[in-house]
Amino acid sequence: MFIKMYLLVSVSFFVVLLPLKAVTFVNADDSIKQKSPDTPIDTGYIGSFYDRLCITMVGVQKGLNMVIHNPDPKIDNLRYRPNTAYSWGVGVDYKWFSLELTRPIQSFFGYDPKKGTTKNSSLKLAYTGKKTWASIIGTYYRGFYISNPTLLDEKWFEKYDYYPYRRDISTFMLFADFKYAFNSTKYSHMATLWQLEHQKRSAGSLVTGLSFALFESKGKWSYVPDQLWDRFPQETRYKGSTMIDLSYNVGYVHTFVFKKRSFVHLGLVPGIALQARKVSLMDYSSDKFQEQLVFSYEARIALGYNGTHYYFGLTSSINEFSDFYVKGGYLSFNYTYFRIYFGRRFKMPFKVPFIDRN
């Protein structure tokens, strides 16, 4: 009953994505962007490039990290990460149209064969408007490595030239997020993400919104290796976990402009989430769903240069979801996103029939 309530509330809320006045385009890396230039703005603070064609070279890396927390502060936590490569490609933006094609390239930055092989598939849908922005992300990983193997053996790297790897561990995440900005006439969230707008002067905004998260992880054996059973309580020997969060978020975002064209963007949006969670342990026992209020947050930093013709920069963000403390330990998950880009704007020499409708 509790899960059905979560799903009903979440689906009902995020159905607002459907009637938004934009057309959806899918790219080869399964991400979708939508944009809307209709809301009035203060032109002293925000400039528009919606009538220019933007061609952008991009590199993207995404990750989902899992941490088993030890209740003893003297002992480090156990950290699992997927071995993911950067995806490289090109993006095209013009008015409301946006298309970005990227493919992972293991031999070019980001992938380390010493960390095992991770299978990954993902789908992202996103809308970025003046007052609101929203996204839905689904991602699956199979194959994780322990990123701090010295917890197993202080001399691990003296003995081995690889990381401990678990092919059997898999995770699935479904995350949906909606935010509203109160100062949309002077602050442009679009300018921090896509280059169809330009933040001329420093400005920020209080933001609020809702988010929904579903995390599921499973493995054939305990996430805690046998070598650590004497340092991790029996209650932390998870081999499966399901976590559902429905969160209300309030925070602040700000873009600092330097020398008219350079910028640094900072954002922190914490939230309080109603969470349902259950775990499966190595002894084959399984808790029933338990409910509790927990803390979550989104942190974002971006910096770059946004010129009349050329632009470049990077964006990094993290969404943290903490599982609450149960029977001697707890799990936490975070979703990370990193994007670098370089591009140029061009005047359109002709009208595109299905885009230039007026």
**Phi, psi (rounded to 5 degrees) for 283:** -85, 15
Strand-pairing partners, residue 306, are 311
What separation in angstroms does the CA of 175 have from each of 10, 49, 230, 298, 302?
10, 31, 35, 12, 21
* Residue 155: CB atoms within 10 Å: 8
pLDDT of residue 284: 56
Domain ranges in the chain are 2-347
Indicate if the pLDDT at residue 5 is higher than 60. no
Question: What's the pLDDT tens digit per position in 163-198?
Answer: 999 999 999 999 999 999 999 999 998 888 878 889
Indicate if the pLDDT at residue 300 is higher than 50. yes
The Cα 122–Cα 6 span in angstroms is: 22
Indicate if the pLDDT at residue 262 is higher than 60. yes
Q: Which residue has the higher pLDDT, 9 or 117?
A: 117
Indicate if the pLDDT at residue 74 is higher than 50. yes
pTM of the model as a whole: 0.79
Question: What's the pLDDT tens digit per position in 88-135?
Answer: 889 888 887 778 888 877 656 667 888 888 888 888 888 888 889 888
Q: Class assignment of domain 2-347?
A: mainly beta
The Cα 106–Cα 60 span in angstroms is: 13
Residue spans of beta strands (DSSP E) within 192-237: 197-199, 203-218
pLDDT of residue 34: 44
